């Protein structure tokens, strides 16, 4: 991905904050109704990063770009085929994965982006621990 393209998703190495409309959630740079907890990592960071990618694909997402610290995926809505962007940043300082899920168009998403992040969390940590996923 070109650095200019990546700049849409990162500012100073952190995920961009959500805009002032209810179609985005983020664990970084957002507060109030826009905030979600980051995905906690327990065990191998490399395995958890790969597990995240696997879960995104299982949920019907398409990985657009990834490296060892950044991931951009897209999801299409079933009815209108709108595209939502999911961006993740591996945060080795806090041993977590910072995550942002946002609609590209429209004002409200009816909670879809929050539900997506919570489903990712549930699938990564089905019993409340990231280490419960098979390595």
Cβ(44)–Cβ(135) below 8 Å: yes
Please list the ranges in the chain whose pLDDT falls under 50: 1-2, 4, 127-135
To the question of domain 3-125 being in CATH 3.40.630.40, the answer is no
Q: What is the Rg, in whole angstroms, of the alpha carbon atoms belonging to the chain?
A: 14
Give this prediction's pTM.
0.85
| Cα–Cα distance measured from residue 28 to residue 35, given in angstroms and rounded to the nearest whole number | 8
pLDDT in tens, 83-94: 999 999 999 899
Rounded distance between C-alpha atoms, residue 71 and residue 52, angstroms: 10
**What is residue 30's predicted lDDT score, i.e. its pLDDT?**
76
User: Domain extents for the chain?
Assistant: 3-125
**Maximal CA-CA distance, the chain:** 40
């Amino acid at each position: 991905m070109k650095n200019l393209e990546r700049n849409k998703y990162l500012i100073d190495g952190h995920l961009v904050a959500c805009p002032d409309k209810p179609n985005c959630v983020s664990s970084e740079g957002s507060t109030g109704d826009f905030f979600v907890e980051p995905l906690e990592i327990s065990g191998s960071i490399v395995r958890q990063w790969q597990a995240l990618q696997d879960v995104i694909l299982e949920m019907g997402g398409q990985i657009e770009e990834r490296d060892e610290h950044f991931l951009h995926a897209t999801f299409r809505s079933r009815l209108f085929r709108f595209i939502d962007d999911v961006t993740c940043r591996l945060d080795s300082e806090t041993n977590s994965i910072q995550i942002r899920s946002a609609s590209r168009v429209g004002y409200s998403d009816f909670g879809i982006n929050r539900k997506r992040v919570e489903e990712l969390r549930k699938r990564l940590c089905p019993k409340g621990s990231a280490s419960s996923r098979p390595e």
